[in-house]
Amino acid sequence: MKIISRELERFEKFLFSSTKTTVPFIGNVSRYVMEAGGKRIRPALVILSSKICGYSGKRAIAYAAVIELIHTATLLHDDVLDNAKLRRGRPSVNHLWGNEPCVLIGDFFYSKAVEIMGKDGDKELIRIVSRATTEVAKGEILEILKTGDLTVDEREYFEIIGSKTAALFSAACEIGAVLANKERKTREALKKFGENIGLAFQLTDDALDYISTDRSLGKKVGTDLKEKKVTLPLIKALKAASLQEKRMVEEIFEKKRVTSQDFYKVKDFIERKGGFKYTYEVAKRFIEEGKDLLVSISPSPHKNTLLKLSDDILTRKS
Amino acid sequence: MKIISRELERFEKFLFSSTKTTVPFIGNVSRYVMEAGGKRIRPALVILSSKICGYSGKRAIAYAAVIELIHTATLLHDDVLDNAKLRRGRPSVNHLWGNEPCVLIGDFFYSKAVEIMGKDGDKELIRIVSRATTEVAKGEILEILKTGDLTVDEREYFEIIGSKTAALFSAACEIGAVLANKERKTREALKKFGENIGLAFQLTDDALDYISTDRSLGKKVGTDLKEKKVTLPLIKALKAASLQEKRMVEEIFEKKRVTSQDFYKVKDFIERKGGFKYTYEVAKRFIEEGKDLLVSISPSPHKNTLLKLSDDILTRKS
């Protein structure tokens, strides 16, 4: 993403300065979380979407920070829920400092995001971002409700990931069009584009949770199974499973503690049933559909970068 | 608060309708949390402050809901931290449903509050509310950092409660003046008034945590000592303590589990040293100072109610 490297640099600066506080501890934890970096895919989406719509002002940097702050807040809150020990390749905040700071620094980031939006003062953008945030919370609640439930079907799975992941991707891209003052049609196209690549992102995430390694993923592989989250690879495999195979999975889901042997058994089962292949096929379809939505936007180097970023979701290792 | 009973009714309706969702579980928990009611002191402050400044439109209802949603969100997040079992006289959400929904429904409420503000679209109000929310998170983080630290002094104590409690009270009152389009002087007066009664509210809260009963308080008495939170009654008592008394408190603070015998020992010690009396004196001073700040606002039945609400903080049992 060389083409927006200057904007991403400004974004980093903005992000760090916006979380400045008089409490050294908050500053330290914020820096720890922010320096871990992550992929910065959401801020890149805000910047690229605004660029391809012809906007090149400063507000894209501010909104890139808004989206990343909210994303980081949800990660921090998610870490509490998951009791995750690794996040972005390093010990998670809740593992180092406990659950309390994890929740509160998440709240702190979210408030900061709202402060930035308030300063900017755009009603429409506040509406877009706050709705997306409500969706994320809703999706994560739905996910918890469905934890351990092997009857979850594709429709329910897509309802969950549509809210918990795709809503923020979608908002990031729609913001770009709104900043550029684009007409409704372009806005809708970018919104839908963002949703599509958000879904693809979560699909590959759920596949990588089985097929990647801790080191390349930057977080623990096998977490979904350990937490009894039923994701598309498993849903697909179960659909084609024999009674005996179903029973095998059920037995593992009834266990309090999933062993690494259990993990390989389930991974193997999904592989045999084509669950990973199918998941990647669906992800590819979303990416293709997403890219098609941008057909009416004139070609440009920034557009090429956005299309490349979309394709890279399919081959990402982390 | 008969004089604003119609507004409070509208507020309740607004609150319930604003947390409507397609996920029945969220609806159920929301209703559970909201029906517990609480004192609704913050929404009353928004409404009364706007009234005494001459505003009587609908936006006060919306902002009353914003403030109460944020307050409820912080309670839900606080319950996670505290592992509280009773809240507003009933089992807490995290006790009934676990930590996960507690954090996420808190996030859901906060997003809803931002949605309401976005719809209203007032930059200045968004700034006021988001800054207050940042302050609350900051104050709660500070409080955690100072947990178990018997060297906490008055200055640090007031820094904590100024952020964690008074900031939202202050915002609630300032909102009233902003809605009425009042000049800077009145805004500042109401802001400071809110801060004062917020401080008084927390001071009496910290005294009641020792001297009330579970039943009348609607939450567990003795929680602060159990969690090793050092509040003003104890700070004051320690200042006048003999070496032996200090040692007694230190020993209790070093214990993993505080017994009910320990609690009565510390309560007795604070009582003997005049810690509760002092805390109420300070609270009374804040209330008086606060009321004085409203002197330039013309007398009215609504103003009387606001002054009465301030006084009632000193005699409240829950």
> What are the tens digits of pLDDT across the range B18-36?
988 888 888 888 888 887 7
pLDDT tens track for A180-238? 999 999 999 999 999 999 999 999 999 999 999 877 777 788 999 999 999 999 999 99
Q: Please state the φ and ψ torsions of residue B27, each to the nearest 5 degrees.
A: -60, -45
Chain A within 8 Å of B146 (Cβ-Cβ)?
A: no
A114 with B136: Cβ contact below 8 A: no
DSSP letter (8 states) at residue B180? T
Chain B within 8 Å of A110 (Cβ-Cβ)?
A: yes
Angle between helices B59-82 and B24-35 (to 10 degrees): 100
Kind and range of the H or E run holding B91: strand B90-91
B81 with A100: Cβ contact below 8 A: yes
Residues of A in contact with B69 (CB under 8 A): none
B121 with A118: Cβ contact below 8 A: no
- CA-nearest residue to A164 within chain B is B104
Instruction: Quote the percentage of chain A above a pLDDT of 90.
Output: 77
pLDDT of residue A214: 78
User: Looking at CA atoms only, how far is residue B240 from chain A in angstroms?
Assistant: 30
Could you tell me the fold of the domain covering A2-295? Farnesyl Diphosphate Synthase (1.10.600)
Interface test with A, best of B104, B115, B129, B160 (most A CBs within 10 A): B104
Q: Which residues contact B14 (CB under 8 A, 6 or more apart)?
A: B61, B62, B64, B65
Which whole number is the average pLDDT over A259-279? 97
pLDDT of residue B86: 63
DSSP letter (8 states) at residue B162? I
Structure tokens at B223: 């929680």
Chain B within 8 Å of A121 (Cβ-Cβ)?
A: yes
Is a pLDDT exceeding 80 seen at residue A80?
no
B138 with A25: Cβ contact below 8 A: no
pLDDT of residue A221: 86
Instruction: Quote the percentage of chain A above a pLDDT of 70.
Output: 95
Residues of B in contact with A104 (CB under 8 A): 77, 81, 137, 140-141, 144
pLDDT band at A88 (very low <50, low <70, confident <90, very high): low
Helix (H, G, I), strand (E, B) or coil at B84: coil
A126 with B121: Cβ contact below 8 A: yes
In angstroms, what CA-CA distances link B253 with B143, B153, B205, B239, B257? Answer: 16, 16, 21, 16, 9
pLDDT of residue A85: 62
Which whole number is the average pLDDT over A154-167? 98
Chain B within 8 Å of A99 (Cβ-Cβ)?
A: yes
Residue found by looking up tokens 């910047």 in the block: A47
Q: Please state the φ and ψ torsions of residue A182, each to the nearest 5 degrees.
A: -75, 155
pTM exceeds 0.80 for this model: yes
pLDDT of residue B67: 98
Residues of B in contact with A76 (CB under 8 A): none
User: Looking at CA atoms only, how far is residue A142 from chain B in angstroms?
Assistant: 8
Q: Sign of the C-alpha dihedral, residues A29, A31, A37, A43?
A: positive
User: Among B35, B33, B119, B43, which residue's Cα sits nearest to residue B76?
Assistant: B33
A107 with B133: Cβ contact below 8 A: yes
- Beta partners for B91? B86
Which whole number is the average pLDDT over A233-245? 97
pLDDT of residue A82: 59
User: Among B236, B288, B226, B318, which residue's Cα sits nearest to residue B40?
Assistant: B318
B138 with A26: Cβ contact below 8 A: yes
User: Among A92, A105, A77, which residue's Cα sits nearest to residue A21?
Assistant: A105
In angstroms, what CA-CA distances link B263 with B58, B185, B222, B258? Answer: 47, 46, 7, 7
Is a pLDDT exceeding 80 seen at residue A36?
no
B13 close to B278: Cβ distance less than 8 angstroms: no
Residues of A in contact with B105 (CB under 8 A): 137, 141
Structure tokens at B255: 């214990």
- Beta partners for A87? A90
Angstrom distance (rounded) from CA A282 to CA A295: 21
B120 close to B91: Cβ distance less than 8 angstroms: no
Per-residue pLDDT of chain B (318 residues; tens, 9 = 90+): 889 999 999 999 999 999 888 888 888 888 888 877 678 999 999 999 999 999 999 999 999 999 999 999 998 888 776 556 666 666 776 766 777 788 999 999 999 999 999 999 999 999 999 999 999 999 999 998 999 999 999 999 999 999 999 999 999 999 999 999 999 999 999 999 999 999 999 999 999 999 998 777 777 889 999 999 999 999 999 999 999 999 999 999 999 999 999 999 999 999 999 999 999 999 999 999 999 999 999 999 999 999 999 999 999 887
A77 with B103: Cβ contact below 8 A: yes
Three-state SS sequence of chain A: CHHHHHHHHHHHHHHHHHCCCCCHHHHHHHHHHHHCCCCCHHHHHHHHHHHHCCCCCCHHHHHHHHHHHHHHHHHHHHHHHHCCCEECCEECHHHHHCHHHHHHHHHHHHHHHHHHHHHHCCHHHHHHHHHHHHHHHHHHHHHHHCCCCCCCCHHHHHHHHHHHHHHHHHHHHHHHHHHCCCCHHHHHHHHHHHHHHHHHHHHHHHHHHHHCCHHHHCCCCCHHHHCCCCCHHHHHHHHCCCHHHHHHHHHHHHCCCCCHHHHHHHHHHHHHCCHHHHHHHHHHHHHHHHHHHCCCCCCCHHHHHHHHHHHHHHHCCC
pLDDT of residue B190: 98
pLDDT of residue B100: 79
* CATH fourth-level superfamily of B2-315: Farnesyl Diphosphate Synthase (1.10.600.10)
